[in-house]
Amino acid sequence: MNIDSSVINSINGANGSGRPNLSASQSQEMRDSFMTLLITQLQNQDPMNPMDNSEMTSQLAQINTVSGIEQLNDTLNGITQQMDAGRALQAAGLIDKAVLVPGNNVMVSSDTENGSYATPFGIELDKPAEQVVATVTGQSGEVVYTRELGPVKAGVESFSWGGLTNEGVAVPAGAYKVNFRATDAEGELLESRALNYALVQGVSPGNGGSDVRLDLGAIYGQVGLDQIKQIL
């Protein structure tokens, strides 16, 4: 008398994925049924032709494997929840913090007492550059400021601008764009990514806390934690 292989397949998952396709209660019910069948088989086996020990051991091992997978899944789910909670706490600590995110916007505001103020900006480089030139343009594309930044290391670097033209004249308040030209020692153009200033205003947990989103306001919307390149 052999145990029906469909019992084992139902417990282990017949979809070929290697993971149980049953709920916890269904899986426990199937294991109970298997043990009942196994005990019944042992009680009613032919003494002259007993059940093969290797077959019984193999079937018991499969049952134990299912239990181990379920316990492992429970452990991994617990670890994932702890990581999600940690990410949410990390994100909450960024509220009211200034950050650099991908983008090339520069905002200029006027202050009658202190003159113009321009938000910082930054650059991200995969390789070190021998020379980086930053160019700030107005809404119609006219160049209002140019600056040679010199050598810049690979990674993220931030810069400030006083809101003045190269002649020292304050530019009107409003939105501007910054662009970079990075070259290596041979003068070859390097890939670079502009970064703009933003203020973290809130945190959204996302789907089940696994996709934390940072609210950067109406202009920049929401971004993930991986988009934060530097905290200012």
Q: Which residue type, as a one-letter code, is found at position 114?
A: N
Domain ranges, ordered by start, for the chain: 5-87, 102-197
CB count, 10 Å around CB of 101? 20
* pLDDT given at position 16: 46
Residue 25 confidence class, pLDDT cut points 50, 70, 90: low
Computed over its alpha carbons, how large is the radius of gyration of the chain?
A: 32
Distance CA 2, CA 37 (A): 9
Give tens-digit pLDDT for 190-228: 999 999 999 999 988 766 555 788 899 888 888 888 899
Tens digit of each residue's pLDDT (9 = 90 or more) over 99-154: 999 999 999 997 656 667 899 999 999 999 999 999 999 989 999 999 999 999 99
Structural element, H or E, at residue 76: helix 53-92
Q: Say whether pTM exceeds 0.85.
A: no
Measured CA angle at 212 (ends 208, 216), to 5 deg: 140
The DSSP result for 116-135, as a single string, is: EEE--EEEEESS-EEEEEEE
Residues 6 or more apart in contact with residue 10 via CB below 8 angstroms:
22, 30
| Beta bridge pairs of residue 136 | 145, 178
Domain spanning 102-197, CATH class? mainly beta
Residue 168 tokens read as 């020292």
